[in-house]
């Protein structure tokens, strides 16, 4: 296959710094061939560009005459691919020739590790093969877990379509706060977290004949816990088949963990991908992402930047007008509603081009066909956890080399492609980690510990972890659950703990909801819980209407803090009759509100089970703030001379500029989450009185540590008062 030479890229030869590297093969042979040492080696070009050269090259690409006819050979390949019928696509997938071998291997072994390049058909085909082979006889189910909700929904939709059945009938999905399955469902896609929760009602997973733990390489916390639980039940459920499916990463480790389970390798099929690096560091990567190409392209950005990125792209297209071919700009991220998600899979109309702006969801969980160019800014947002302070934060960090390679791989699925890395080759080699650290080692374990305790697993230290979490993290989780009242001093689940585990939310949120019973404000607290769970996407702030949007936002401000602002937004929306128009006029994201309403309905539905009566505090916000405090007393910050510091660990933290309390600066606050971008920002904060801490957590706080250093009130910072803002 001809790979485009640097010349053809539009530059003169010599302008590119070219580095030719031999890299490990991108395509794996079948297991046997591999053993015979027939692993093919492939050569890759690595070109290094100056930053302005990159822009230059790309702007040429945008304004180039005839951009509608992308390099002809390539577009015909793509067109041919796109023209295939669904059944033809099924038969053309790399997994198809191995159907019989795979079924035989599954028949023979109880546990099998399956490795295959993204897009080879693991997720959509294997469950169908199993169904065709009789694994759902007698109403038994095949379960397939996905770390991401969007992936669970979209693959279920795709499989339903391939099988010509209605989604939710034979094929369904289950994600938190949304169950799209029925009595008839035999192929069930679900998030890994949902399968974990199923253990609570069906500890041996008796209704399943096969469990597929998909995307195992992602090593999410829930997937890692599933490994241990499923390995355990497989011992006494000899009829249960367990498949561990993964992209081409780490499969030996999975095999090793599952007592040397055999690895079934689906030979890859990947076209060469040229990799370009910048010569210099690019600092403003967001701008750089907005590069367009004469064909489909995919770029990876952070979720909160996606909308802005899409807007900028569209704006540029408008300005270029008819100078460029039609460009479809499509976002894809976790909370995107399903009708919008479906769009990225729709074929591009003839002559048009498509840009998919994605989070790392498109790295391996979703296959978008026809992507030729990948632009990789090289970042991801990662949870990190400080086991000493118990502080969890989201940090924007360079992604791992493994991630970067997966991203690049998206370009070579149906034809040769290119990947533009918006970082230097040096950074790739020296600043990026080889692989991503498993989530279990960098997250708060409260949720999982509570769940395992409710499953009767008391000895967590000896739980069969593939990679054990740090000892301090485990101990801290136990301590926190004890402080919340979920465990007694022997580490046993209390009645409160049992009720907390019934709610599919984090222990602190769970506790907040349960505390609302005592403070008689469950009506309001349920709303707040739902609004918090849609996560910072309530307010809409389009670039060209920033002033209007900010004014609209100010109008929702009420005294007390962000939780109460969220409550106010929701209440007004309910009064408007859940109106779309109202959202539009007030710069509120209708989709987020609709989701908050769904979440609220679901939570309210669970109140019966945990015996909490739904009552309102009738406009008094003190009980509401006390309930928040009862759940989140760990997240308390106090204003002192140098700014805010957390109470227990004296860590400096800042109120997020978007907060309604940004200028107010109350003495005591509770924050919902901490996000590290340029600083440690507290997001969603509420004002409290220190005395409440003793009321809700007497075993955690001593009155001495809550004394103010000076009895005088701190002078207010210059800024608008609430009244002025209101």
Residues that bind ligand CDP (CB under 6 A): 89, 93, 116, 118-125, 154-155, 158, 345, 367, 369
Q: Which is nearer to Mg ion, 327 or 411 (CB)?
A: 411
Strand-pair category, 187-191 with 141-146: parallel
Q: Measured from the CB of residue 678, what is the shortest distance to ligand CDP in angstroms? A: 36
Give least dist CB 175 to Mg ion, A. Answer: 16
Of Mg ion, ligand CDP, none, which one does residue 367 interact with (CB within 5 to 8 Å by kind)? ligand CDP
Indicate the residue among 339 and 611 with the shorter CB distance to ligand CDP: 339
Q: Interface residues with Mg ion (CB under 5 A)? A: 122-123
Task: Choose the contact partner of 133 out of ligand CDP, Mg ion, none; CB within 5 to 8 A by kind.
Answer: none
Q: What are the angstrom distances between the C-alpha of 284 and each of 75, 262, 310, 333? A: 32, 46, 16, 22
309, 331, 420, 537 from 314: Cα distances, Å? 9, 12, 21, 20
What the block records as the tokens of 116 is 């295959």
Q: How many CB atoms lie within 10 A of CB 547?
A: 8
Query: Using an 8 Å Cβ cutoff, are 659 and 683 in contact?
Result: yes
Residue 508's binding partner out of ligand CDP, Mg ion, none, with CB under 5 to 8 Å set by partner kind: none
CA distance 385 to 372: 37
Nearer to ligand CDP, 27 or 314 (CB): 27
Q: How far is the CB of 119 from Mg ion (least distance, A)?
A: 8
Q: How far is the CB of 42 from ligand CDP (least distance, A)?
A: 20
Return the number of the residue (121 or 143) whose C-beta is nearest ligand CDP. 121
Dihedral sign (CA 132, 134, 139, 140)? negative
> C-alpha 8: how far from its chain's center?
38
With CB cut-offs between 5 and 8 Å by kind, which of ligand CDP, Mg ion, none does residue 158 bind? ligand CDP
- Structure-token pair, residue 476: 């801290």
- Chosen from ligand CDP, Mg ion, none, partner binding at 119 (C-beta under 5 to 8 Å by type): ligand CDP
CB nearer to Mg ion: give 123 or 223.
123
C-beta closer to ligand CDP: residue 402 or 596: 402
Contacted entry of ligand CDP, Mg ion, none for residue 595, CB cut-off 5 to 8 Å set by kind: none
92 vs 488 by CB, closer to ligand CDP: 92
Q: Which residues pair with 545 in a beta bridge?
A: none
User: What are the structure tokens assigned to 99, written together?
Assistant: 């159907």
Residue 396, Cβ density class (10 Å: 0-12 exposed, 13-18 middle, ≥19 buried): middle
Pairing state of beta strands 171-175 and 178-180? Answer: antiparallel
CB of 637 to Mg ion, least distance (A): 42
CB of 3 to ligand CDP, least distance (A): 22
- Closest distance to ligand CDP from the beta carbon of 344 (Å): 9
Compare residues 122 and 231 and give the one whose CB is closer to ligand CDP. Answer: 122
Strands lying side by side in the sheet with 263-266: 178-180, 171-175, 187-191, 141-146, 208-213, 241-246, 111-116, 263-266
Closer CB to ligand CDP, residue 56 or residue 162? 162
Shortest spacing between CB 545 and ligand CDP, in angstroms: 34
**Whole-angstrom distance, CA of residue 57 vs CA of residue 59:** 6
Strand locations in 29-170 (E):
42-49, 111-116, 141-146
- Smallest CA-to-CA distance from 273 within 376, 364, 399, 397 is with 376
Helix (H, G, I), strand (E, B), or coil: what is residue 231?
A: helix
Partner from Mg ion, ligand CDP, none binding residue 147, C-beta < 5-8 Å depending on class: none
Structure tokens of 146?
Answer: 């996905």
CB of 126 to ligand CDP, least distance (A): 8
* Binding partner of residue 237 among Mg ion, ligand CDP, none, CB cut-off 5 to 8 Å per kind: none
CA triple 535-538-542, angle to 5 deg: 120
Closer to ligand CDP by Cβ: residue 346 or 581? 346
Q: Is 257 helix (H, G, I), strand (E, B) or coil?
A: helix
In sequence order, the β-bridge partners of residue 357 are 299, 331
Q: Binds 232, which of Mg ion, ligand CDP, none (CB < 5 to 8 A, cut-off by type)?
A: none
Partner interacting with residue 410 (select from ligand CDP, Mg ion, none; CB below 5-8 Å by kind): none
Apex 225 CA angle, 174 and 126, nearest 5: 50
* Cβ–Cβ < 8 Å for 647, 493: no
CB 40 within 8 A of CB 269: no
Distance CA 183, CA 203 (A): 20
Q: Where are the alpha helices (DSSP H) in 344-494?
A: 361-364, 401-409, 425-430, 446-454, 471-484
Report the residue number, 142 or 484, with the smaller CB distance to ligand CDP. 142
Least CB distance to ligand CDP at residue 646 (A): 42
* Cβ-based nearer residue to ligand CDP, 144 or 531: 144
From the list ligand CDP, Mg ion, none, pick the one residue 480 interacts with, judged by a Cβ distance below 5 to 8 Å according to partner type.
Answer: none
First to last CA, the chain: 66
For residue 154, the minimal CB distance to ligand CDP (Å) is 4
Quick one: what does residue 510 bind among Mg ion, ligand CDP, none, with the CB cut-off 5 to 8 Å set by partner type?
A: none
Q: Which does 424 bind (CB under 5 to 8 A by kind): Mg ion, ligand CDP, none?
A: none
CB of 577 to ligand CDP, least distance (A): 35
> 209 in helix, strand or coil?
strand
Q: How far is the CB of 224 from Mg ion (least distance, A)?
A: 18
For ligand CDP, give the closer residue by CB, 76 or 207. 76
């Amino acid at each position: 296959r001809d790979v485009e030479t640097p010349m053809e890229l539009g530059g003169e030869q010599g302008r590119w710094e070219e580095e030719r590297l031999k890299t490990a093969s991108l395509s794996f042979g079948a297991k046997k061939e591999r053993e015979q040492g027939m692993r093919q080696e492939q050569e890759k070009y690595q070109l290094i560009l100056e930053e302005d050269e990159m822009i230059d090259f790309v702007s040429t690409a945008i304004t180039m005459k005839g951009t509608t006819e992308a390099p002809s050979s390539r577009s015909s390949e793509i067109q041919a691919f796109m023209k295939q019928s669904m059944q033809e696509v099924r038969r053309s997938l790399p997994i198809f020739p191995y159907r019989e071998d795979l079924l035989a291997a599954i028949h023979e072994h109880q546990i099998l590790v399956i490795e295959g390049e993204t897009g080879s058909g693991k997720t959509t085909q294997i469950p169908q093969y199993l169904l065709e082979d009789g694994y759902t006889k007698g109403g038994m189910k095949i379960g397939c877990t996905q770390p991401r909700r969007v992936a669970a929904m979209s693959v279920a939709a795709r499989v339903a379509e391939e099988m010509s059945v209605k989604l939710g009938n034979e094929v369904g999905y289950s994600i938190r706060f949304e169950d799209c399955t029925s009595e008839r469902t035999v192929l069930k896609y679900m998030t890994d977290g949902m399968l974990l929760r199923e253990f609570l009602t069906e500890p041996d997973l008796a209704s399943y004949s096969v469990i597929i733990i998909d995307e195992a390489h992602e090593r999410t916390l829930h997937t890692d816990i599933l490994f241990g639980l499923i390995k355990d039940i497989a011992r006494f459920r000899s009829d249960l088949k367990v498949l561990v499916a993964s992209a081409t990463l780490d499969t030996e480790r999975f095999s090793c963990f599952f007592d040397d389970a055999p690895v079934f390798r689906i030979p890859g099929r990947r076209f060469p991908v040229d990799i370009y690096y910048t010569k210099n560091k690019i600092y403003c990567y967001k701008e750089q992402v907005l590069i367009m190409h004469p064909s489909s392209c995919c770029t990876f950005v952070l979720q909160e930047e996606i909308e802005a990125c899409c807007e900028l792209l569209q704006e540029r297209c408008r300005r270029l007008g008819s100078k460029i071919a039609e460009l479809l700009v499509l976002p894809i991220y976790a909370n995107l509603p399903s009708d919008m998600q479906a769009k990225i899979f729709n074929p591009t109309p003839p002559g048009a081009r498509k840009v998919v702006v994605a989070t790392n969801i498109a790295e391996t969980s979703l296959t978008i066909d026809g992507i030729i160019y990948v632009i990789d800014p090289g970042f991801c947002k990662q949870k990190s956890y400080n086991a000493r302070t118990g502080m969890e934060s989201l940090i924007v960090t360079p992604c791992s080399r493994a991630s970067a390679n997966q991203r690049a791989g998206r370009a070579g699925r149906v034809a040769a492609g290119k990947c533009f890395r918006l970082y230097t080759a040096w950074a790739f080699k020296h600043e990026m980690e080889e692989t991503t650290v498993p989530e279990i080692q960098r997250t708060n374990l409260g949720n999982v510990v509570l769940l395992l305790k409710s499953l009767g697993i008391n000895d967590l230290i000896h739980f069969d972890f593939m990679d054990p979490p740090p000892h301090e993290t485990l101990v801290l989780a136990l301590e926190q659950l004890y402080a919340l009242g979920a465990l007694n001093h022997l580490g046993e689940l209390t009645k409160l703990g049992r009720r907390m585990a019934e709610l599919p939310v984090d222990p602190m949120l769970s506790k907040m909801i349960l505390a609302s019973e005592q403070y008689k404000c469950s009506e309001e607290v349920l709303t707040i819980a739902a609004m918090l769970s849609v996560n910072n996407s309530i307010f809409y702030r389009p670039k060209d209407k920033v002033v209007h949007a900010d004014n609209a936002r100010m109008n929702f401000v009420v005294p007390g803090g962000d939780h109460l602002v969220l409550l106010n937004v929701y209440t007004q929306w309910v009064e408007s009759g859940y109106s779309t128009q109202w959202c539009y006029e007030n710069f509120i994201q209708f989709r987020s509100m609709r989701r908050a309403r769904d979440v609220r309905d679901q939570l309210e539905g669970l109140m019966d089970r945990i015996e909490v009566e739904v009552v309102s505090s009738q406009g008094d916000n003190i009980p509401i703030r006390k309930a928040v405090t009862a759940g989140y007393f760990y997240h308390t910050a106090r204003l002192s001379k140098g700014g805010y510091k957390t109470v227990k660990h004296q860590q400096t933290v800042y109120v997020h500029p978007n907060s309604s309390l940004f200028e107010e600066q109350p003495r005591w606050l509770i924050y919902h989450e901490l996000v590290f971008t340029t600083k440690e920002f507290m997001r969603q904060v509420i004002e409290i009185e220190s005395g409440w801490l003793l009321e809700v957590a007497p075993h955690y706080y001593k009155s001495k540590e809550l004394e103010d250093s000076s009895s005088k009130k701190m002078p207010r910072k210059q800024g608008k008062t609430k009244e002025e803002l209101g």
